[in-house]
Structure 1
Amino acid sequence: MKIESLRRLRGPNVYLSRPAVVARLRLDDLAGVETTDCTGFTERLLRAVPGLAEHHCAAGSPGGFISRLRNGTYFGHVSEHVCIELSQLIGRDVSFGRTVGTSETGVYDVIMECPIDESPESSVPRELLTAAIDLVREVHGGAGPTARALEERLAGLAALAEREATGPSTRSIIVAARRRGIPVERFDDLSLLRLGWGHRRRLAWAAMTDRTSAVGVDIAGDKHVTRRLLDEAGIPVAAGGAAETAADAVRLLDELGAPVVVKPRHGRQGRDVALHLTTADEVSRAVDAVGGEAVVERQLDGRDYRVLVVAGEVVAAAERVAPHVTGDGRATVAELVERVNADPRRGPGHSRVLTRIDLDETTDRVLSRQGRTRESVPETGETVRLRETANLSTGGTSRDVTDQVHPDVTRLCQRVAALIGLDIAGIDLRLPDIAAALPPCDGPATSGVIEVNAVPGLRMHLAPVHGRPRDVGDAIVRAMFPGGSDGRIPAVAITGTNGKTTVARLIAHLLSGSGMRAGMTSTDGVVIDGRTIQVADATGPRSAQMVLGDPQVEVAVLETARGGLLRRGLGYDWTDVGVITNITADHLGQDGLDSIEDLAHVKAVVAERVRDGGTLVLNVDDPWVRSLADRPRVRADRKRLVWFGMDPANPVLTEHLARGGAAYVLHDGWLVQATGARRTPLLRLAEVPGAYGGAALHVAANALAAIAAARALGARPEHLVDRLAEFDPSVENPGRGTLFRLGDVSVFVDYAHNPAALAATLRTLHRLWGAERCVAAVTLPGDRRDDLLAASAQILADGLTRVVLYEDHDSRGRAPGEVSGLVEREMRARRPQLTAIRADGYRDAVTAALRMAGPGEVVLVIYEKWAPMRSWLAELGVTPAGGTPVPAGFAALSSPAPGATLQVARSLTGIPARG
C-alpha cells in the first residue's frame, strides 16, 4: 500500500462540517484482498492496537469494526481505522473516517477528520496514515510491530503533533471565539489568528492584538525604559539603572545596596535573571551571563504576582511559585525533578499548561547556594529551590488569587497598563500580600512593579496548579468584539450549474448600491469594492478567504463552484444567504460525480451551510433544486425559504405563497415580488439590462435570484429596482450574453459550455434573429464526459445550420482534435445537411464564422478565456453594440402577452433554461 496524494478540505465539505483530509491510497498487492484471506489477521491486529475493539464503524456500536474485520473488509478500510486509533493514542482527538472506492480497481479515497485548528500545512495526517499503513502491512506479514517499536513511533508522532499544535494561550482565544460564533482561523502553523470577517476582522497573535500599541510593546521590551517611565509617574518600582559593563553593575550594587537583581535589559521569560546577589563577584558573573546590556535593580521584598490587564480591566491574577521539589528522604534532586516532569501537564516550551524543569548551569548555581547538588537527597518534606525566578517558562507553577486582589492593586495595575500604552498587559509585582492595601510611598520602594509584559503568557491563569481557572481568552475576545458582536459581515454564497457568475455580479451590484462595499468571488476573479484584485477562477475556499479577510469589505458575495468545494471544502463556516440557481448535467465523470444526484449532493453543501434563521433562495422550476429543501441537513424549517421562478402557476410555488411565504417570479412580463397573496411589480423584463427586450428569458431567472438574495440581506425594493436598471452587462458582466457589431453583422459572445446553457443561449438568438440567421464559433471543454459533449453537439445541431468548431487551448487531458471531432460527428449524425468546419484555435474560428455570416445575421462566439477573446475581437474591429442591442424585428416580441410562452424549435423544447 502507498499514499498517492493527500489534500486537505479546510472547511465544511461533502463529508462533514469540519476540516478533513482526503488521502488517495493504492493497495497494490493487497488490491482485492480481504481481511478474511489472511489467517489470524484480526487477532494480531487487536493485540497490536487493542483500542480498535471500541470502534463502531457502520454498526453504530462498539465492536462494529471488529465484525467487519471478521466478515471480511478491504485493507484501505483497515488503514483508515488504524490511523484514527493512532491519532487518538497521541492525544489528537478525531473520530470520523470513511473509505470510498474510486473508478480504478485497488485505489481508494480515505477521508479522515482533522482537528479544527490544525495547520493546513501540517504533516501530521500524512505521517499518521503512513504509520498506520506500515503497521497494517507488518500485521499482514507476520506478528506485527513490537510494543516498544510502536511506543517509540507513537512518541515521535505525538511530539510532531505537539510541535505543530497551538499553545494554550492561542487555543484559549480560539475556543472563546468559537463559543461566541466568531469565525476564527489560524494562519499557517503560527499563533496568528484571524477573527471575524471583512471590516469587522481582527488579528491576534497569542496575547497581542492588532490594536496593541507598537510603542507600548517597545517600552515593555526595554526594562530600563519601563522602570524609568513608571517611576516618573509615581508608580512604586525598584530603584536601579542600566549597566553596559560589569564595572557599571558593581557601581550600581554599591549605590543601591545588596541584595540586587541583574537581568537582561531586553530579556524575556526569566532567562538569565539572577536574584539575591550580594557581592561584586556575583554581580559581575551575572552581567557576563547576560552577554549584553543589563539592568541592575534593588531586589524588592514579598511574593511574586502576575496581574493580567485587558482593555483597562484586571481580569486575572496569580501568585507565581519558582520551580522546586520536595524531598522524601530517599530520592535525589535529579530523581525528584524527573518525577515532577512526569506530570502530563508538563511539556517542552509552551505547548502545555506547565513547562518541564530543566537541570542546567542555572539550576546548579541555585542548588550550590543551598549547599546541594543534583545528587543530594533532601529530607522528607524539605523544599529545594531549583530557580530563583518564578516564570512558568522555566518550570514554575501558579496559584490563582484573582478574587483576593485589593482595590489599590487593581488601580495600580490599570494605571501601569495605561501608562505603557498596552491593551493587554501582564504586570509583574513583588508584594507582601496582593490582598493588602498598598503602603504610601515615603521613600525607596520595598515592594511594587518589577516588570511589564507585552504579549503575556496566559497559561498561569488558564490552568493554575492551585485555585480557580480563569477564562482569560474570553476576556481578550470580549475586548476585541465588544457588545456581543460575532465579528461577521453579511455573506451570500451562490452555486448551481449555470448562471452563478452572473447572479454573483448582480448581487454585488445591487448591494453596493445600498452603500455597502462588496467583496465578490467569481469564475473570473476577485473583486473588492468594484475593483478586480485578482484575475483567476476564484470560486474556491482560498478566494473566499481573500474576500472575508479584507478589512474594506462590508458584504461578501461568494460564487462557490463544485471543484473547489470538492477539492478543498468551503472557505467559510456559515452564510446568511445561499442561492442555488439550477442543477443540470455538467462535470459528470469528474471528482467521483457520476450522476446529477451526485452533483446535487455537492451543491447541497451550500444550502446546508446557511445559518439557522438565514435565507435559502432556490429555483422552484428545477426539480433537483426543489429536492434540496427536503434534505435533512438543509433543515429548511430552520431557515427562511424563498423561491424564484419563471412559472407563477408552479404548484410548489402557489402552495408556498398560500402559507404566507415569499417568492420572486416572472409574471405577465414583469419581475414580481410575491409575499402571501400580495404581489409587487418591480421591473418589466423588457427593461432588465441584458434581457434584450425580453428575448433572453434566462436573464429573468438570474435577476430574480439576485433580487431575492439582496432583499434577504436587507436591501430596499425601490433601491433594487433603480440599481438593477443601472446594471451595465457589457461592463459588469462581460462575456455573458454580450452583443457586439462588425458592420451589418452582430456578434453575440457567451460562456455557455453545457447542454442547458447552450439551449438557453440559442433560444435567445432564435427569438432575436431566427434560427436560419445564426452562425456559431464553438469550443467545448475537454474534461466533460463523452455523453455530455454529445448532448451539447445535439443542441448545437438542432439550433444551427453553420458551425465552426475549435479546441480549447487547454485540452484537459484530451488528444488534439478529439473534442471537436466528437462534436462534429454527433452534429452531423443529428443534422446531416449541417455546414461544419474545424478551425485551428479561436482566432481562425471567429474569423471563419464572420466570413460565413451575411448582413443582418448573428455570429455566436463561445469562448474558453474572456480576455484573449475580447482582445481578438477588438483587433478584428468588432465593437460593442452600443444603444441598439435588439434587432428591429424583435419589437413585437419584446412585450409578450400575459401567459404567452416563447419557444425555439420543437427539438429544443424541454431543455432546462439557463439559470
Structure 2
Amino acid sequence: MRLDHVRRLSGPNVYLSRPVAIARLDLQGLTGHETTDHPGFAERLVEALAGLRTHHCSAGRPGGLLDAMARGTYFGHVTEHVTLELSGLIGREVFFGRTVRAGGPAEYDVILECPRDEPSGSPVVEQLITLALRVVNGALAGRVPDPSADLAPIAAAHEEERLGVSTSALARAARRRGVPVRRVGGLNLLRLGYGRYRRTVWAAMTDGTSAIGMEVAGDKRLAHRLLADAGVPVPEGRVAASPAEALDVLHEIGGPVVVKPLAGHQGENVHIELATAPEVVAAFASAAGEEGEVLVESYIPGRDYRVLVVGGRVVAAAELTAACVTGDGTATIAELVARVNADPARGEGHDRPLTRLALGATELALLARQGHGPRSVPGGGERVWLRRNANLSTGGTSRDVTDGVHAEVADLCVRAAATVGMDVCGIDLRLPDIGSPPPADRGAAGILEVNAAPGLRMHLAPHEGTGRDVAGDIIGLMYPAGTPSRVPVVSVTGTNGKTTTVRMIAHMLELDGRRTGMTSTEGVYVGRQLVHVSDASGPRSAEMVLGDRSVEAAVLETARGGIVRRGLGYDRADVAVVTNITRDHLGVDGTEALEDLVDIKALVAEEIRRGGHLVLNAEDPAAAGLAGRPTVQGRSPVLRYFAIAAGAPVLVEHLRDGGLGYYVQHGWLTEARGDRRTRILPADEVAGSFGGHAVHVVANALAAAAAARALDVPVDVVARALRTFDPHLRNPGRGCVYQVGANPVLVDYAHNPAAVAAMGAFVGRRWGTGGAGGVAAVTLPGDRSDELVGETARALAGTFGRVVVYEDEDLRGRRSGEMTRLIVQGLREGRPDVRAHPAGDLKGALASALDIAEPGEPVLLLYEKLQPVVELLETLGAEPGTPEPGAAASGVEAGGRSSSTVTDSSASTTIPSSQ
C-alpha cells in the first residue's frame, strides 16, 4: 500500500462536526485482497498492537475489529484502525474513523478524526498514517512489527504542538458554554466568540489584562514597592547590583534571605533560606543574569500557597510542596526520582498536570546540603528535598485548600491583585496557615510575588484535593452570564442564486442598522466595504468575517467546493438558506450524482443551532427534502419555505400545519403563517427583477426576505431593501444590463443547465424573444463534465438561435479548443439550426455578438471572471441599462402602495402581475 496524499477539513464537515484528515491510499498489489487471504496476518497485527482487541468497529462492541478481520475486510479499513490505535498510544485521543472507496478500484479514502485544536499544518496525522502502513505491511510480510521506536518522535512532536494544560482547559470551558473557539496557528492563543463579541486569551492572560499590570508583575522590585505602599505585607529587602551589595542586604536585614532574579519566572534561579556569605555570593552569580541585579529579601517561614484571583474574587487556592522524594530504605534517590517520573501525570514543561523531577545542578547542590547524592539511600519515610522553591514547574505538587481560605487572607489577595491592576492574577504568599487570619507580626506572613498569566494546572488537577473549574471562572469573566458570544450568522448554499441571495440579505441587515460582514464569490465585505478580493465562498473567508470585531451580523456564501475541501468556517449558524440543488459540479471532488451534491449541501442545514431557522425552496425537491433528514430534524429547526407559487404542494402543507411561508400572491411578495398574510412589496418592484420578468430574482428575494425576517428585520425594511437593490451597485455581474450602442447587453454568471434555462426564460419574457431571437456570447467552466457542458449548451439552444462561443483564459485542465467543441456540439444537439460562431476571446466574442444582433436585440454575455468584463464594457462606453419596466424609483413606493397585513385563508397559485 502507498499513501498518496493527506488533506484536512478544519471545521464541521460532511463526516463529522469536528476536524478530520482524509488520507488517500493506493492499495496497489492488495487491491481486492481481504484479511482472510493472508493467513496469520490478523494474529501478528494484534500481537504488535494489543489494543486493537478492544476496537468496536461497526459491531459497536469490543472485539468488532477482530470479527471483521476474521470474516475478511479490506486493508484500507485495517489501516484506519491501526492509525487510531497508534494515535491513542501517544495520548492523541480520537475515536472516529471511516474508510470509503475513492476513484479507481485501488483507491480508498481513510477519514480520521483530528483533535479540535491540532494545528492545521501539523505533520502528526500524516506521520501516524505512514507508520500504520509500515505496521500493516510488516504484518503482511510475516513479521510482528514493533512500532515503538518510530512512535517516540511522533509522540514528541504531538506533545510539542498540543495546547498547554491551561489553554486546553480554557478551550474546553468556552465550548461548554457554547462560545466558539479557534486556535491561532500553533500558539497557545485562542480566538473566542464571533464578530463584535470576539475575545482573545493566551493561556490565562485575557485581552482585558492590563499591560501596565503585566509590567508591574514582571518587575519584582516595582511590584513590592506598590504592594508595600498599599499596606500589603511583603518581605523586607532591596535590589543588589553586586555580590558585595547582596552581602550588605544580608547583614542589614539578617538571615536567612532569599535571592531571586528581578524578572524571573517559574521559580528559576530562586535561592531560598540562605544564611552564609558564600551561599549569598553563589546565589547572586546564579540569579543576576544579564541585568546584573538581584532582589535580596527576608525569608518568611511558613507554608507556600498560590491563590488565584479572577475578576476581583478568589476562585482557588493551593498549598504547594517543593519537589522531593520520600525514602523507603532500599531505593537510591536516583531510583526514587525515576519512580516518581513514571507517573503519566508528569511530563516536560507544562504539557501535563505535573512536571518531572530533575537532578540538575540546583538539585544536586541542595542534596549535598542535606548530606545526600543521587546514589544515597534515604531511610524509610525520610523526605529528601530536591528544590526549596515550591513551584510546579520545578517538580512541586499542589493540594487544594480553596474551601479553607480565611476571609482576611482572601481580602489580602484581592487587594494585591487590584494594586497591580490584574484581572487574572496568581498570588504567591507564605504564612503559617491559610485558614487563619494573617499574623500581625512583621515578617510572619507576606506576599512573595504577583503573577501575570498564572498557570492553572495546580488548581485544575491538584495532586491532592478537589480540582477547581478555574478555566470556567476565567471564561465567565470574559463572558458574564447573559453576555452573548456570537453575532447572528446566516449561511447560504445551493446551486444557483447564492450570491444574489447573500447580497440581498446583507443589504437588508445593513438597512436595519447592523454592521454586516459578507462573503461571496467576489470577495469579503465589511460594512459595505470590499476588504478582500477573491472567490470568498469558503471557510477562510467566513473566519475572516467572524474574526472582525466590528461585525454585528454575518452573511456567508457557502459553496460546495469549500465544504468538500476544508469544511465549514463556522459552527451553529442562526439561519441556513438552501436556494436549490441542481446538477452542477458532477464529476468534481468525487460527486457522481445529484444525491452526492445533496449530501454535501445538507451540511449547511445540519450545522445550525438548535431551534435555528432553516429556509428551503419548496419548489425544489432536493432542497425541500432536506427537512426530512434525521440530522436536520435533530436540530429542531424553524422551517421557512419559499416558493414563487402559493400552490406549491410542500408550501401548502406547511402552511396548513401553521408553518411560515414566503410566496407571491396576487402580485405581492407575501409572508404567511396560518391564516395570517403580510404583504411585503409588489413583485414587479423588486430591483433587478425587471418588473417581475426575472422570476429567479423574485425567488431569491423571497429566500432573502425569509432569512431577514428570521433575524427580526421589520417588513418595511425588507421592502425598502428589495426596492433599492440596484444590481449594478449591489449585485454586479448578476443580471446586469448595459446599453452598448443600439443593443442591451445582459451580463450574468449562469453556468449550468438550470441557470442558463432561467436566463433564457427571462430574456424571452423581458424582450419578447423566442425561437431564433436573441444572441448569446458564452463560455462555460472547464472543470465540468462533458455531459454537463453538453446539457448546459442544449439549454442555451432552447432560447438563443445565434451563439458566439469563446474560451476563458483559465482552461481548468482542458486543452485549447476543447470547450468550444463541446459547447458547439451541445448547441447543435439541442437545435440543429442554431448558428454557432467560435471566437478566440472575450473581446472578440462580444464584438461578434453585437455584429450579429439586430438593433435593439438583447445580447446575453456569460463570463467566468467579472473584472475583464467590466473593463471591456468601459472601453466600449457601455452605460447601465434603462429603468426596468414597472419598477418604482429607488426607495419610493409605487402608486402609494405599502406593506400591509391581511387575513386571507386562500392558497391560490399566483405569479408576479407582470408575467
Picking from 203, 206, 214, the partner of 1:206 is: 203
Where does residue 25 of structure 1 map in the other structure?
25
Provide the C-alpha distance between the structure 2 equivalents of 1:859 and 1:636, rounded to a whole number of angstroms.
48
TM-superposed CA distance for 1:688, in Å, is 0.5
Where does residue 531 of structure 1 map in the other structure?
529
Where does residue 910 of structure 1 map in the other structure?
none
Matches for 1:872-887 after TM superposition, within 5 Å: 872-881=872-881, 883=883
TM-superposed CA distance for 1:863, in Å, is 0.7
TM-superposed CA distance for 1:567, in Å, is 0.9
Kept in 2, the 8 Å contact 1:739–1:885? The answer is no
Provide the C-alpha distance between the structure 1 equivalents of 2:870 and 2:712, rounded to a whole number of angstroms.
36
Where does residue 459 of structure 1 map in the other structure?
457
Kept in 2, the 8 Å contact 1:629–1:636? The answer is no
Where does residue 184 of structure 2 map in the other structure?
187
Provide the C-alpha distance between the structure 1 equivalents of 2:20 and 2:489, rounded to a whole number of angstroms.
24
Provide the C-alpha distance between the structure 2 equivalents of 1:165 and 1:48, rounded to a whole number of angstroms.
27
Provide the C-alpha distance between the structure 1 equivalents of 2:625 and 2:519, rounded to a whole number of angstroms.
27
1:268 aligns to 2:268 (yes or no): no
Q: Report the number of matched residues.
A: 893
Kept in 1, the 8 Å contact 2:775–2:801? The answer is yes
Superposed CA offset, 1:586-645 (max 9, x none): 001111111111111111111111111111100000011111111110107711111000
Over 3 Å counting, the alpha-carbon distance change for 1:509 and 1:499 in structure 2 is same
Where does residue 632 of structure 2 map in the other structure?
634
Provide the C-alpha distance between the structure 2 equivalents of 1:331 and 1:606, rounded to a whole number of angstroms.
62
Where does residue 100 of structure 2 map in the other structure?
100
Over 3 Å counting, the alpha-carbon distance change for 1:509 and 1:819 in structure 2 is same
Superposed CA offset, 1:176-225 (max 9, x none): 11111111121122110111111001100000000001111011001111
TM-superposed CA distance for 1:171, in Å, is 1.4
Question: More displaced, 649-658 or 613-622?
Answer: 649-658
TM-superposed CA distance for 1:263, in Å, is 0.6
Question: More displaced, 533-542 or 577-586?
Answer: 533-542
Over 3 Å counting, the alpha-carbon distance change for 1:636 and 1:302 in structure 2 is closer
Where does residue 155 of structure 1 map in the other structure?
152
1:829 aligns to 2:829 (yes or no): yes
Matches for 1:35-114 after TM superposition, within 5 Å: 35-114=35-114
Question: More displaced, 213-222 or 844-853?
Answer: 844-853
Provide the C-alpha distance between the structure 1 equivalents of 2:251 and 2:278, rounded to a whole number of angstroms.
12
1:669 aligns to 2:667 (yes or no): yes
Where does residue 448 of structure 2 map in the other structure?
450
Unaligned runs of 5+ in 2: 889-893, 896-907
1:140 aligns to 2:140 (yes or no): yes
Kept in 2, the 8 Å contact 1:204–1:210? The answer is yes
Which amino acid in structure 1 is aligned with residue 736 of structure 2? T
1:295 aligns to 2:300 (yes or no): no
Aligned-partner SS, 1:237: coil
Kept in 1, the 8 Å contact 2:322–2:390? The answer is yes
Where does residue 580 of structure 1 map in the other structure?
578
Where does residue 313 of structure 2 map in the other structure?
313
Kept in 2, the 8 Å contact 1:181–1:486? The answer is no
Where does residue 653 of structure 2 map in the other structure?
655
Provide the C-alpha distance between the structure 1 equivalents of 2:885 and 2:805, rounded to a whole number of angstroms.
26
Provide the C-alpha distance between the structure 2 equivalents of 1:131 and 1:18, rounded to a whole number of angstroms.
24
Aligned-partner SS, 2:691: helix
Aligned-partner SS, 2:647: coil
Kept in 2, the 8 Å contact 1:14–1:602? The answer is yes
Kept in 2, the 8 Å contact 1:180–1:486? The answer is no
Provide the C-alpha distance between the structure 1 equivalents of 2:96 and 2:33, rounded to a whole number of angstroms.
24
Aligned-partner SS, 1:365: helix
Matches for 1:550-629 after TM superposition, within 5 Å: 550-629=548-627
TM-superposed CA distance for 1:39, in Å, is 2.3
Provide the C-alpha distance between the structure 2 equivalents of 1:637 and 1:404, rounded to a whole number of angstroms.
44
Kept in 1, the 8 Å contact 2:426–2:450? The answer is yes
1:219 aligns to 2:216 (yes or no): yes
Provide the C-alpha distance between the structure 1 equivalents of 2:798 and 2:679, rounded to a whole number of angstroms.
36
Kept in 1, the 8 Å contact 2:645–2:911? The answer is no
Question: More displaced, 2-11 or 774-783?
Answer: 2-11
Kept in 1, the 8 Å contact 2:619–2:650? The answer is no
Provide the C-alpha distance between the structure 2 equivalents of 1:475 and 1:421, rounded to a whole number of angstroms.
18
Over 3 Å counting, the alpha-carbon distance change for 1:791 and 1:903 in structure 2 is farther
Provide the C-alpha distance between the structure 1 equivalents of 2:870 and 2:634, rounded to a whole number of angstroms.
43
Question: More displaced, 245-254 or 58-67?
Answer: 58-67
Over 3 Å counting, the alpha-carbon distance change for 1:632 and 1:841 in structure 2 is same
Which amino acid in structure 1 is aligned with residue 361 of structure 2? E
Where does residue 691 of structure 2 map in the other structure?
693
Which amino acid in structure 2 is aligned with residue 516 of structure 1? R
Question: Over aligned residues, Cα RMSD in angstroms?
Answer: 1.9
Aligned-partner SS, 1:301: coil
Provide the C-alpha distance between the structure 1 equivalents of 2:479 and 2:572, rounded to a whole number of angstroms.
19
Which amino acid in structure 2 is aligned with residue 307 of structure 1? V
Matches for 1:414-425 after TM superposition, within 5 Å: 414-425=414-425
Over 3 Å counting, the alpha-carbon distance change for 1:294 and 1:902 in structure 2 is closer
Where does residue 238 of structure 2 map in the other structure?
241
Picking from 248, 251, 254, the partner of 2:248 is: 251
Which amino acid in structure 1 is aligned with residue 257 of structure 2? V
Question: More displaced, 722-731 or 498-507?
Answer: 722-731
TM-superposed CA distance for 1:810, in Å, is 1.3
Which amino acid in structure 2 is aligned with residue 203 of structure 1? T
Provide the C-alpha distance between the structure 2 equivalents of 1:778 and 1:691, rounded to a whole number of angstroms.
22
Kept in 2, the 8 Å contact 1:326–1:383? The answer is yes
TM-superposed CA distance for 1:58, in Å, is 2.7
Which amino acid in structure 2 is aligned with residue 450 of structure 1? L
Matches for 1:849-868 after TM superposition, within 5 Å: 849-868=849-868
Question: More displaced, 619-628 or 822-831?
Answer: 822-831
Kept in 2, the 8 Å contact 1:521–1:538? The answer is yes
Kept in 2, the 8 Å contact 1:691–1:700? The answer is yes
Provide the C-alpha distance between the structure 1 equivalents of 2:353 and 2:418, rounded to a whole number of angstroms.
29
Where does residue 907 of structure 1 map in the other structure?
none
Kept in 2, the 8 Å contact 1:828–1:834? The answer is yes
Provide the C-alpha distance between the structure 1 equivalents of 2:67 and 2:438, rounded to a whole number of angstroms.
70
Which amino acid in structure 2 is aligned with residue 603 of structure 1? K
Which amino acid in structure 1 is aligned with residue 865 of structure 2? K
Kept in 1, the 8 Å contact 2:691–2:884? The answer is no
- Which TM-score applies when normalising by structure 2? 0.95
Kept in 2, the 8 Å contact 1:240–1:252? The answer is yes
Aligned-partner SS, 1:144: coil
Aligned-partner SS, 2:664: strand
Where does residue 646 of structure 1 map in the other structure?
644
Provide the C-alpha distance between the structure 1 equivalents of 2:168 and 2:407, rounded to a whole number of angstroms.
30
Which amino acid in structure 2 is aligned with residue 357 of structure 1? L
Provide the C-alpha distance between the structure 2 equivalents of 1:882 and 1:553, rounded to a whole number of angstroms.
36
Where does residue 869 of structure 2 map in the other structure?
869
Which amino acid in structure 2 is aligned with residue 176 of structure 1? A
Aligned-partner SS, 1:680: strand
Which amino acid in structure 1 is aligned with residue 151 of structure 2? L
Kept in 2, the 8 Å contact 1:504–1:559? The answer is yes
Where does residue 399 of structure 1 map in the other structure?
399
Which amino acid in structure 2 is aligned with residue 402 of structure 1? T
TM-superposed CA distance for 1:382, in Å, is 0.6
Question: More displaced, 635-644 or 779-788?
Answer: 635-644
Aligned-partner SS, 1:799: coil
Picking from 187, 197, 219, the partner of 2:194 is: 197
Kept in 2, the 8 Å contact 1:353–1:463? The answer is yes
Provide the C-alpha distance between the structure 1 equivalents of 2:545 and 2:699, rounded to a whole number of angstroms.
26
Kept in 2, the 8 Å contact 1:768–1:887? The answer is no
Where does residue 472 of structure 1 map in the other structure?
470
Provide the C-alpha distance between the structure 2 equivalents of 1:401 and 1:311, rounded to a whole number of angstroms.
20
Kept in 1, the 8 Å contact 2:432–2:444? The answer is no
Over 3 Å counting, the alpha-carbon distance change for 1:602 and 1:309 in structure 2 is same
1:492 aligns to 2:478 (yes or no): no
1:387 aligns to 2:387 (yes or no): yes
TM-superposed CA distance for 1:900, in Å, is 6.7
TM-superposed CA distance for 1:302, in Å, is 1.3
- Which TM-score applies when normalising by structure 1? 0.95
